[in-house]
A and B are shown apart, each in its own frame.
Chain A
Amino acid sequence: MMAMLSHTHRSDSRKLQMKLNLIAFAAMAGLLVIAPFAIYPLLVVQILCFALFACAFNLLMGFTGLLSFGHAMFYGWSAYIAGHVSKEYGATPELALLFGMATGAMLGLIVGALAIKRQGIYLAMITLAFAQMMFFLAVQMHAITGGEDGLQGIPRNRLFGLIDIDSTGRVYWFALGVFLLAFLAMWRIKRSPFGENLKAIRENEPRAISLGCNTARYKLAAFVLSAAFSGLAGSLKAISLQLATLTDVGWQISGEVILMTLVGGVGTIFGPVIGAVVVVGLEQMLLGFDDWIPVIYGSVFVLCVLFFRKGILGQIQHVFQKD
């Protein structure tokens, strides 16, 4: 009887959680619809791309507990490939995004297959090293990446070959649409049986193995998915902001995406979005004091790790769960 009661209580609280999440999603979508009227749209697009990137990163760190320190390679290289196919072959935006995602997924498959069996700290070092290799390759492979100059003035071709998105106003709606769809897809993945298994692995891997779960395969799948969505974020950025440079593929970006996820709340659904807003917001506040950005980022990192490991949203949830 008690067990049943607590069970219904739990499913009640799950329903409540779901309701809250739906309200939050509606609020987020609503805010994003109004945002371009208040803030410079391309700045919001930048936030959207980072938010998508952070959500993709969270798919790995938050839902499987694996820390990658090299996600910039997926983000940056997808940006190059999406930019390249748009520029050289006139690929339509949706195709460019697909190419970008595929780039991320393929890179993720290779790196993941090599690295995924190694735990925690090892994985972080290996991904960081591979990302650095991809950075050097980006410097050298001029024909695709434009080397030190990067790809400038990437064209925004017609969506599906029909719809013109080549204006600040139009590209915003395009970016928002991609972001919301990808966000919903990742949310769905988290709630799927696959996502539940990932959670089980994160919470108790030996137990998951003893239950017959091929945890290495699950982790690899999560790694590839995370890389693919990071690739989507990178290619969205390349098309909307018409730019893909070495900055996108450098280790600082890998650090930044960790920071966004950490600040917002590792493992929460909306945390990475909040993190992206905070980090881009900080950058805007420090405009003109660019030199101070690394120092501020570093301090936020240190503070988060020492005192604030749940992040903004995680902390809020923690407070509410106590009541």
Chain B
Amino acid sequence: MDHLSIQLIAGQVLIGIINGSFYALLALGLAIIFGMLNIVNFMQGALYMLGAFMAYIVGEHLGIGYWGALIVCPILVGLFGIVLERVFFRAIYDIDPVYGLLLTFGLAIIIEGIFRIIFGSAGIPYSIPDSLRGGINLGFVFLPYYRGWVVLVSLVVCLGTWLAIEKTPIGARLRAATENPGAVRTFGINVPLMVTCTYGFGVALAGLAGVMAAPIYSVSPQMGTSILIVTFAVVVIGGLGSIVGAIVAGYGLGIIEGLTKVFFPEASSTVVFVAMAIILLLRPKGLFGRMA
């Protein structure tokens, strides 16, 4: 293989890892929320978009810049999610989870619609923070600093979340409440509060992904839904409700998508769905799925 095509492959794999970083963050949020609330959160895409717009509004107009936005926006998105959970979700916990999907779908198109009214459907430019401009030539590939930063943050957040859930006492409470919320409540643990906080954290991950996406992808009202649908396929591949599955499938599919761009560019937008079909044939529960 000649030098050029190695560079080409490495470049596409890098783009794949970056896309995968976003898939993983979004899928992780979906998995956590589904585990705890038994709801597939269709709003995840809309809240990702909200995060990106907030980065633009809060960062550019309130003058706290990218770094301020990176901290503030996920928190704001999380709080917004908490309000929505408190106001809307209580009525649907005891009925078919399908209604949770429909409810969050409705809320998602409301949020998206409002942003379209305010900002129109055209994208809004958002620039990379000065401190992360430029890049480094790794020999086989040129790595822009900002993209490296995105991958780093995503990896740290995914790993940290996984560790927190699998290895800490609070994580143990979360896992237990996922299995049998009633029993956990009889120990004096406030499960409804945990549910609300979990939702807040899950959507804050979407908000974080949105802030990080703002300088890379164009910020537009419809940016959320298209990535969300791909994320759904990622979640099905990883196994619904599986934290590890969400992370592994997220990065893995990003990379597969990148490689497809090199070898079979026409299929790059559909390869994730083809992968989903194959997984459904071979391993219907998903790669790491536990549930039926």
Task: Using CB atoms and an 8 Å cutoff, list the residues of chain A in contact with chain B.
Answer: 67, 69, 114-115, 117-122, 124-126, 128-130, 132-133, 136-137, 139-140, 251, 255, 258, 262, 291-295, 297-302, 304-306, 309
Contacts and interface: CB of A to CB of B under 8 A. Distances in A.
Contacts of B106: 297-302, 304-305
A130 B292 contact: no
A282 B253 CA distance: 40
A302 B110 contact: yes
A78 to B, nearest CB: 20
Contacts of A129: 229-230, 232-233, 236, 272-273, 276
B266 interface: yes
B103 interface: yes
B114 interface: yes
Contacts of B97: 120-121
A298 B108 contact: yes
Contacts of B276: 126, 129-130
A251 B284 contact: no
A36 to B, nearest CB: 32
B130 interface: no
Nearest to B266: A140
A308 to B, nearest CB: 12
Chain B CB within 10 Å — which of A122, A126, A302, A309 has the most?
Answer: A122
Identify the 8 closest CB pairs spanning chains A and B, nearest first: A301-B106, A294-B113, A298-B110, A133-B273, A295-B113, A298-B109, A129-B233, A302-B106
B209 interface: no
25 contacts: A114-B280, A114-B281, A117-B284, A118-B280, A120-B96, A121-B40, A121-B100, A121-B240, A125-B235, A128-B232, A130-B277, A132-B229, A132-B230, A140-B269, A292-B117, A294-B109, A295-B109, A295-B110, A298-B110, A302-B88, A304-B102, A305-B92, A306-B88, A306-B91, A309-B99
B98 A120 contact: yes
Contacts of A124: 40, 98, 101
B274 interface: yes
Contacts of B101: 67, 69, 121, 124
A304 B95 CA distance: 14
Contacts of A137: 270
Contact of A255 (B99, B109, B266, B277): B109
Given A124-B40, A126-B280, A132-B273, A306 B114 contact: no
Given A301-B105, A302-B103, A126 B88 contact: no
B225 interface: yes
A20 B113 CA distance: 40
B116 interface: yes
Interface of B: 40, 88, 91-92, 95-103, 105-114, 116-117, 225-226, 229-230, 232-233, 235-236, 240, 266, 269-270, 272-274, 276-277, 280-281, 284, 292
Nearest to B117: A291
Contacts of B107: 298, 302
A128 B103 contact: no
Nearest to A136: B269
- Judged by DSSP, the binding face of A is helix
B90 to A, nearest CB: 10
B87 to A, nearest CB: 10
A297 B109 contact: yes
Contacts of B96: 120
A261 to B, nearest CB: 11
Nearest to B276: A129
A117 B281 CA distance: 11
Contacts of B274: 133
Given A117-B284, A301-B103, A294 B112 contact: yes
Nearest to B120: A291
Please indicate which of the listed interface residues A140, A292, A305 has the most CB atoms of chain B within 10 Å of its own CB.
Answer: A305
A251 B110 CA distance: 15
B181 to A, nearest CB: 18
A306 B40 contact: no
A251 B226 CA distance: 9
A295 B266 contact: no
B240 A122 contact: yes
Contacts of B111: 298
Count chain A CB atoms within 10 A of each CB in B98, B112, B116, B270 and give the residue with the most: B98
B102 A305 contact: yes
B116 A305 contact: no
- Which residue among A129, A291, A306 has the maximum number of chain B CB atoms within 10 Å of its CB? A129
Given A122-B236, A305-B99, A306-B88, 4 more contacts: A121-B100, A129-B232, A251-B229, A306-B91
A29 B95 CA distance: 36
Contact of A305 (B103, B108, B229, B232): B103
Nearest to B121: A291
A120 B225 CA distance: 21
B19 to A, nearest CB: 15
Contacts of B226: 132
